[in-house]
Amino acid sequence: MGTDISGYAADGPMRAFLIHLPVVSVVIPAYNEERFIGQTLTSILESGFPCEVVVVDDGSTDRTSQILEDFRPRIRIVRHPVNRGKGAAMASGVRAATGEVVVFCDAHLLGLQSYHLLSLVLPLVQGPARAVLGVGLPGITVRPQFLMPLLTGQRAYFRRDLEPLLEEMEGLGYGVELFLFHRFPRERTVVVVLPGLVHLLKPQVSSPQAAARGYLRESLEILRALASLGEISPTRFSRWRQKVITAMGRYMYTIRDGFQG
């Protein structure tokens, strides 16, 4: 089963093309994403791109759960009773997915279009890619460009390639994307540009305090993943961990003083 996509080539004379896509599952991990999850889902569902949408509510304590209910039955919802982290949410989404291809998307995206999803899927379908990482254009994305290929939340894989990795993914939190980058050969990893797609930063989707806590958690989990992959020594991990905690502590004091002032 799958879907035939037709259209016209953009280069040279207009040439018709027909591409057969396998079943695609779009998996969205969501934790306290009440501000933008509705907009992200609406963009996908109204894009016309043929896919099933699986949202993993990772123990949200805001209105995320209620917002997701408004999209039934057009989406599948997986719920974690408590927050288990991004790696566990992604793993649960893969287990619930039925598609041959799994596309991961963050829950706070602006400007998501069908061609973004198609750009992530085509390198897998046409081969020989086994991992596709989507990055924004300079000036549009709000993440540092040198981090985008490693840590981007927009990525695609064959489900069969992910299934042997699910148990390891579950305990990695925000380190899961770095883990996946290391698990797939560089020569089979493709980076595609997603023009017009904006990935919002934590301060744009949550309060300053929640954003600071989120950055602290994300930084520590990425450091932990680097250490487990042997990219940094235990000594360096401990030193960097303390620096991150100290820096974020100072930032939290600054926020608190700003509110009190």
Q: Which string of DSSP letters, residue by residue, matches 211-246?
A: HHHHHHHHHHHHHHHHHHTTSS-HHHHHHHHHHHHH
User: Tell me, what's the pLDDT at 192?
Assistant: 94
User: Tell me, what's the pLDDT at 147?
Assistant: 47
Residue 138, phi then psi, degrees to nearest 5: -55, 135
pTM, to two decimals: 0.84
Check if the beta carbon of residue 120 is closer than 8 Å to that of residue 132. Answer: yes
Return the top range by mean pLDDT from 42-51, 194-203, 218-227, 239-248.
Answer: 42-51
User: Tell me, what's the pLDDT at 258?
Assistant: 52
Q: Rounded distance, CA 3 to CA 23, Å?
A: 7
Q: Which of 106-120, 140-154, 215-229 has the lowest mean pLDDT?
A: 140-154
Cβ neighbours of residue 90 closer than 8 Å, sequence gap 6 or more? 27, 29, 56, 104, 169, 176
- pLDDT over 60 (residue 177): yes
User: Tell me, what's the pLDDT at 213?
Assistant: 82
- The pLDDT tens digits of the residues spanning 195-209 come to 999 877 777 887 878
- The pLDDT tens digits of the residues spanning 46-94 come to 999 999 999 999 999 999 999 999 999 999 999 999 999 999 999 999 9
User: Tell me, what's the pLDDT at 96?
Assistant: 98
Residue 218, phi then psi, degrees to nearest 5: -60, -45
Q: Which string of DSSP letters, residue by residue, matches 169-202?
A: HHT-GGGHHHHHHHHS-GGGEEEEE-TT-EEPPH
Q: Are strands 189-193 and 155-158 parallel, antiparallel or unpaired?
A: unpaired
Which residue, chain included where needed, has tokens 């706070």? 108
User: Tell me, what's the pLDDT at 9?
Assistant: 44
How confident is the prediction for the chain on average, in pLDDT?
A: 85
Distance of CA 53 to the CA centre of its chain: 14
